[in-house]
A and B are shown apart, each in its own frame.
Chain A
C-alpha cells in the first residue's frame, strides 16, 4: 500500500470474549443465546432495588486458564470495581468490572504472519466484567426497546499492548486469541452470536517518531474480515486527514459493514468520567497457588502442542497440521475422521480439499458442517477398503453434503455404487471392449502403450465408474500383452 512508505500504523486490540458459563457472572439466570427478550433476566440482572451480585465461581477458573495459556501472571487478589455511566441497557447505572487489580496481568502471544514470519505481541491485562443488555431501536415507534437477556453475561476483556503494525497482524492476533479461548473452553468463540468482539485502537505516526499519534477506537467488530476492513479503512482515513493538514480526533467509532466505513459514535473529549471505585458489594477474589496448580493440571492441549502432535503422530506436514489444528472443532473433527477411517493422510486430504473448500465457499463453520465426522470417516473407510472408488466417493460426498444421503453404506447399496471387483464380471467387460476396438488393439500391440488409458477408461465408462481401477488395469494389461 502507498502509505507504508511513510506512515507507521499502531494498533492495540481490546477483545471482549463471552465466557461459556451456564449462568451469568453475578446471578443464576441462563446465558443461553437467542431467547425471547427479557426472559433470561432475573431481579439481579434487572438491577431491582435491594438485590446484590454474587460471583459465579466458574468465571475465575476460565480467567485463570486463559492467563496460564498466555503465560501471564495470575493476580491472587483481584478486585471488582464499579464503572459508572447512565445508559438504558445498563440496569444498575454502573458496570461491575476490574480496573486497578485485574485477575490476569501480562502475558504474551506469538502470531504467525502470511509470509511465515512470527512476532510476539504482549498482552497488558485481562479482566472480568459483566456485559450490558441491548437497546433495540427498530420496530418501536419513537421508542427504544430494551432486552436485558445479555445483561450480566460474563466477559473476559483481553487488552493488548499497541504492538501490532498492520491489519494483518491485528487479525492474526485476534485469530490466535479466538483459537486459544476455544481450545481452553473459556468461550464458545461464536462470533456471529457476539461471543468474541474486538475494539480496535488505531493510530498512525511517521516512521521514527517516538510518541504515539492520536488514536480512534472502533468498537464491537465481530468478524475477522470486518476487523481487517475496519482497520484498513481507519488507517486510510487518518492518513488522508494528516496529509491534508488536519487533526485526528480522539473518538469512538463504529464500523458499518454494509458501507465498509467507520463512523464517529461519540467524542472521547466530551465523554463521561466513569468515576470508578471498588465494588463494595463484592469481596476481592482471593486464589492461592493450589488453585492455580489445579487449573494448570486440567489445562487441555494448546494449539501449538496439538500442531506438533499432528506432525509427530500422524506424519502430517507442518502446514497441514497447523491448518487442521487452527481451530479446536476442526482439530477434533480431523481426529474423529482419522479414528474411523484409520488413515490420517486421506482424512487430512478430504477435510482440507473437499470439506473446507465447500465450508469456506458457503461461509459455514466446521461446527455447523452438513457432513458429520462420522459420515466422512465412514466414506473414507469405504474407499480404503475398496467398497467404492475414489471417484464414486466424491459423488457420495456430494450426496451427503446436500442431505440426499445419510448413511454411507445404505446409500452406496441403494444407489448401486459398489465397486465391481468380481473378476468374472470384469473379465467379460474387458473382453468385450477388446473385441469392439480392434484398431486400438493393433496400435497398442504395435507399441503405442499410451492406449492403456483408453481401454481402462472404456471399462470404467461401461461400469459407470464402479470398476475397481487396480483390477481393471491388471486385467487389461494381461489381456493385451498376453
Chain B
C-alpha cells in the first residue's frame, strides 16, 4: 500500500478490479497524504474528505454489485474552475469566495457518472489568468519538486496535486497553456484537446474562444482514459463538436514507425533554456529510435502569437467577467450608496490585480476607435497562425518542441515583470489560437527540475498524439520520476 499514490489509473483500476484494495482504502490514503502535504503545497482550495469517503464506499459497493469501468472508484481533483453542485466553486477568486454552484459542469457530470471520486477542488490562478498560481486569492500553490518554486499555472494546483501523489489524476483548463505549462513544471502529463472536444458548460469562463478542459495525469495512457470520459458533444455548449468520441486507448500501443514529426525551428530560438533544449534534442533522438521521421518545420507567425493572445483573451474576459457585479451572487461590497457604487466597489474589492489589468486591457482593445487596431488585427493574426499550422500538417503528423522556455521559476521571481511571465506561454499559446490539440509529457530534467515536451497535432488527432506520447513513455522513464517531498513522509518520495 505504500506506493499507491504513484500508481497510474490503469494500474489502480486493475488492482480495484481484482480486489487488491478498495476504493475507500485508496481514497483514505490520498486524504492522509493531502493532510500531510497540503500545508507545504497548498494545491487545494477545498477538500471534501467525508464526501469522498462516502463516494468511495458507494463505488466499492457498485463494484461488488458487478459494475466496472476504468474510472470507477478513482479519486481525482478538479480545478476549482469547474462548477460542482452544492460545493463552493471559487475560480481562485475572492469574488466567488462564497459561491456555491447550483449545478455540475458537464465534465463533472461525465466523470461522476464514470464513478470518479471528487477528492477536492484544486488551486489555480484567479479566473485562470496566470502562469504561476501566484494570482490565486487563496495563496499560491507550491511546486512539489522545489517548494520555493511555482507549480505553473493556471492549473497549478491540479498539476502539483498529481505530481505530489495527492490524487490519481486531475482536471484542468487550458486557455493559453494552463494545462501544459504546469504539467511541464511539475513533471506530469497534461493534454489540451481540440477546441470543442470537451464541453465548456459549467466551466467558469475566462476566454470563451480559447478555453478548453483537459486531463492532468501521470501517463499518456491515463490521459486517454480520462479524455474518453470528459469528451463528447454537449447540446448545452454550442461550440462543442458533434462528433463521436473515439476509443483513445485503442491504438495507443501501435508502433510509431514512420510517424512524421516536425521540429519547429522557431521554438528553439533565443530565450530557450540550454538544458531544456538539450533535453528536447534527446527526446527527438528517442522518437527517431522509435521509427519516427524527423524533419524541421517552420511556423513563421509564432512570434505574433503572444501579442495576439493578449488582445483576444483579455477582450473576451472583459465581457465574461462583467457578470460579477455583486447583484446576484459573489462578493458584494458593504453599504453601497447607489447601483454604480455597488458595482464598482464590489468589483474593485472582489478581483485581484492581474484580473483587473486584463479586464482593463480587454476593455481598451474593444473600445470605439481601437477595435480595428487591436481586436480585429489580432483576429487576423489568429487566422495566419492557424494557416501556418494547417500548412505544416500537410507534411508532418505531429509538431514537436519544448512546452516552456525555462523550468519552474522561483515564487516572486516574475511577479513584477508581466511580459516575462506572459512569455512563459510562448510555445503553448499559438495552439489555443489555432484550436489544436497538444500534450506536454515529461522529457528530461533541467537544473533538477522537470522538462516538458510538447506534441501538437491537427484537429481531432488526440489518438495519434496519445499514441506517440505513450510510445515515448514506454521507451523513457521521465514520467516515472516523482519529487522527493519535504516533510516527515517515509512513504513519499521517489
Contacts and interface: CB of A to CB of B under 8 A. Distances in A.
A277 B368 CA distance: 11
B83 A49 contact: yes
Nearest to B368: A273
Given A86-B343, A94-B322, A280-B316, A48 B367 contact: no
A144 B337 CA distance: 12
B363 A49 contact: no
A91 interface: yes
B322 A86 contact: yes
B83 A273 contact: no
Given A88-B327, A280-B316, A52 B322 contact: no
Interface in B75-129: 82-83, 89, 91, 96, 99, 101-103, 105
A284 B205 CA distance: 20
Contacts of A213: none
Contacts of A146: 327-328
A281 B238 contact: yes
A46 B366 CA distance: 25
Contacts of B239: 280-283
Interface in B294-324: 315-316, 318-319, 321-323
Contacts of A88: 325, 327, 339, 342-343
Which of A49, A50, A52: most chain B CB closer than 10 A? A49
A49 B322 contact: no
Contacts of A93: 319, 321-323, 325
A36 B216 CA distance: 45
Contacts of B89: 49-50
Contacts of A84: 318-319, 322, 366
Interface in B203-219: 203-205, 207-209
Given A86-B325, A93-B319, A273-B368, A54 B202 contact: no
Contacts of B238: 52-55, 281-283
A276 B318 CA distance: 12
B234 to A, nearest CB: 9
Contacts of A94: 319, 322
A194 interface: no
A286 to B, nearest CB: 12
B235 A54 contact: yes
Contact of A275 (B201, B204, B366): B366
Contact of B209 (A50, A54, A273, A280): A280
Interface in A380-417: none
B375 interface: yes
Contacts of A346: none
B237 interface: yes
Nearest to A135: B339
B366 A277 contact: yes
A281 B367 CA distance: 20
A93 B91 CA distance: 19
Contacts of B321: 93
Given A280-B209, A281-B238, A92 B366 contact: no
B319 A49 contact: no
A43 interface: yes
Nearest to A41: B328
Contacts of B208: 280-281
Nearest to A38: B328
Contacts of B363: 275
A47 B201 contact: no
A144 B325 contact: no
Contacts of A55: 238
Nearest to A86: B343
A93 B320 CA distance: 8
A51 interface: yes
B329 interface: yes
B414 interface: no
Contact of A92 (B318, B323, B368): B323
Contact of A50 (B83, B330, B368): B83
A82 interface: yes
Interface in A23-71: 43, 46-55
Interface in A80-108: 82, 84, 86, 88, 91-94
A47 B366 contact: no
Which of A84, A94, A277: most chain B CB closer than 10 A? A277
A49 B99 contact: yes
Contacts of A280: 207-209, 239, 316
A50 B202 contact: yes
A53 B205 CA distance: 12
Contacts of B339: 88, 144
Minimum-distance CB pairs A-B, first 10: A93-B322, A280-B208, A275-B366, A280-B209, A47-B323, A50-B202, A49-B204, A50-B83, A273-B368, A50-B204
Interface of A: 43, 46-55, 82, 84, 86, 88, 91-94, 144, 146, 273, 275-277, 280-283
19 contacts: A43-B103, A48-B102, A49-B204, A49-B323, A49-B329, A50-B83, A52-B201, A52-B238, A54-B236, A88-B327, A88-B342, A88-B343, A144-B339, A275-B368, A280-B208, A281-B205, A281-B239, A282-B239, A283-B239
Interface of B: 82-83, 89, 91, 96, 99, 101-103, 105, 200-205, 207-209, 235-239, 315-316, 318-319, 321-323, 325, 327-330, 339, 342-343, 363, 366-368, 371, 375
Given A52-B201, A84-B322, A275-B371, 7 more contacts: A43-B102, A46-B328, A49-B323, A50-B89, A52-B238, A275-B363, A277-B366
